[in-house]
Amino acid sequence: MTKEEIVSKLPYADPFLFVDQITEVSQKHIKGHYTFDETSDFYRGHFVNFPVTPGVILLECMMQIGLVSLGIYLLRDKSFDLRGNSTVAMVENEARFYKPVFPNEKVTVVSDLEYFRFHKLKSKVKMLNADNELVCSGIFSGILKPGDE
């Protein structure tokens, strides 16, 4: 499975797709990027006159790359289709925020697999800004259930 195929299998579309590119992927690791466009609707009302990316959007970006994209890769040999016959749900997250992300900033999300058993995926995920500074980090887990099971 190619990195482009992973992105194409995500069950999201604009304006809620927070993955521009997957640059690395393996059985235990994934890395991807996203640039927060200044025209995104959430900036209009989040800290008026000083727009900052909402933390919940940062978490969503981290989960789309670090959990869902990795899960798609891990289940690549099964009939796993989040757009049609499969399900995904966040189970838990523990996150810490260190720096803000501003409009037009490009972030990098790096995720290292903790475990994947019985359809539960758990990963350590971090987000870095363009200066390679830690923006936020966390441990996330979710259930990824293929449609044929």
- Give the E-state strand segments of the chain in sequence order: 21-26, 29-35, 87-97, 106-117, 120-128, 134-145
- Please answer whether residues 81 and 9 qualify as being in contact, where contact means their C-beta atoms are separated by less than 8 angstroms: yes
Question: Catalytic one among 29, 33, 46, 119?
Answer: 46
Instruction: Give pLDDT, residue 30.
Output: 97
- Please answer whether residues 55 and 98 qualify as being in contact, where contact means their C-beta atoms are separated by less than 8 angstroms: no
Closest to 87 measured CA to CA, from 26, 29, 142 = 142
**What is the Cα–Cα distance from 54 to 3, expressed in whole angstroms?**
27
- Does the active-site annotation cover 33? no
* Structural domains of the chain, count: 1
**What is the Cα–Cα distance from 24 to 46, expressed in whole angstroms?**
32
The amino acid occupying position 100 is P
Instruction: Give pLDDT, residue 46.
Output: 81
**What is the Cα–Cα distance from 76 to 53, expressed in whole angstroms?**
32
- Please answer whether residues 140 and 123 qualify as being in contact, where contact means their C-beta atoms are separated by less than 8 angstroms: yes
Residue numbers of the domain that contains 64: 3-145
pLDDT tens for each residue of the chain, 149 residues long: 688 888 888 888 888 999 999 999 999 999 999 999 999 999 988 888 899 999 999 999 999 999 999 988 988 877 666 666 566 767 778 899 999 999 999 999 999 999 998 888 999 999 999 999 999 999 999 887 766 55
CATH number of the structural domain spanning residue 55: 3.10.129.10
